[in-house]
């Protein structure tokens, strides 16, 4: 698995505003195949994930992916780290899923015919080829999320980062997404409020008020989060 290192990283409020840090200083090494991040809304989960491909830069410390610094080598980092947002509509920029996957492949495959064939292969792998030419606005939330995932995976990133990818999904599509995540060769780091989804991970980070308050196995991590959420001491 790629080596992801966060060393004494903190994130402060934007523009030097007063108040508590968004992320208190933390150091992490992420090498597990599957890491889930859980915590209440506003606990810092999304900020932590955005640090991993340079969408957010640390105010102190450094973040590196296989030795590539997110602050100084952002373009190279983003070629290795794919990011899936909570709302796929914010990520799908073309009229159809086929168009979006082909757009992702444009830089690496110049020939149009080869690019179309490669896009179809990637859509077929996720069971989406039959939906490839439908407007993204005619797709269900789950289908859109999988299309966004196909577009990100098209460029074969080494790491997939997903911010609450199941939030807009029904039970059937959440189960489908979990199966896809389990089958991926990439290192996957994701946030979720779905504790069954979190249980699929090898490692669980629990966040509270901008700090990692638990780091360990999924069973223990979920128990720690339940106790935290319910105020059990």
User: What structural domains does the chain harbor?
Assistant: 4-230 (3.40.50.300)
What secondary structure does DSSP assign to 25-54, as a single string?
EEEEEE--SEEEEEE-TTSSHHHHHHHTTT
Say what the pLDDT of residue 126 is.
87
Say what the pLDDT of residue 28 is.
97
pLDDT tens per residue, the chain (233 residues)?
A: 678 999 999 999 886 666 789 999 999 999 999 999 999 999 999 999 999 999 999 999 999 999 999 999 999 999 999 999 999 998 999 999 999 999 999 988 999 999 999 999 999 988 899 999 999 999 988 889 999 999 999 999 999 999 999 988 888 889 989 999 999 999 999 999 999 999 999 999 999 999 999 999 999 999 999 999 888 65
* Cα(220)–Cα(127) distance, integer angstroms: 34
Dihedral sign, Cα of residue 117, residue 122, residue 124, residue 129: negative
Say what the pLDDT of residue 207 is.
97
Geometric angle at alpha carbon 20, from 18 and 22, rounded to 5°: 110
* Cα(13)–Cα(49) distance, integer angstroms: 17
Say what the pLDDT of residue 47 is.
96
Return the H-helix or E-strand segment holding 213: strand 211-216
Say what the pLDDT of residue 150 is.
94
Say what the pLDDT of residue 19 is.
75
* Cα(139)–Cα(31) distance, integer angstroms: 35
Say what the pLDDT of residue 93 is.
92
* Cα(59)–Cα(160) distance, integer angstroms: 24
Q: Can you read off the two tokens belonging to residue 211?
A: 């700090």
């Amino acid at each position: 698995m790629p080596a992801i290192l966060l060393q004494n990283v903190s994130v402060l409020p934007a523009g030097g505003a007063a108040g508590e840090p968004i992320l208190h200083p933390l150091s992490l090494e992420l090498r597990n195949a599957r890491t889930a991040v859980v915590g209440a809304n506003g606990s810092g989960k999304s900020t932590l994930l955005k640090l991993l491909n340079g969408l957010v830069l640390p105010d102190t410390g450094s973040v590196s992916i296989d030795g590539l610094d997110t602050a100084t080598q952002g373009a190279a980092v983003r070629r290795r780290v794919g990011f899936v947002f909570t709302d796929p509509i914010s990520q799908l920029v073309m009229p159809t899923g086929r168009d979006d996957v082909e757009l992702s492949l444009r830089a690496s495959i110049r020939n149009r015919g080869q690019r179309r064939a490669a896009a179809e292969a990637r859509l077929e792998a996720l069971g989406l080829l039959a939906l490839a030419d439908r407007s993204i606005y005619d797709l269900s939330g789950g289908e859109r999320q999988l299309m966004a995932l196909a577009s990100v995976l098209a460029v074969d990133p080494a790491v997939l980062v997903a911010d609450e990818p199941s939030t807009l999904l029904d039970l059937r599509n959440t189960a489908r997404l979990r199966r896809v995540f389990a089958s991926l060769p990439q290192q996957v780091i994701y946030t979720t409020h779905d504790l069954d989804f979190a249980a699929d991970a090898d490692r669980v980070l629990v966040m509270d008020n901008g700090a990692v308050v638990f780091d360990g196995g999924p069973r223990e991590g979920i128990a720690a989060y339940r106790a935290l959420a319910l105020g059990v001491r």
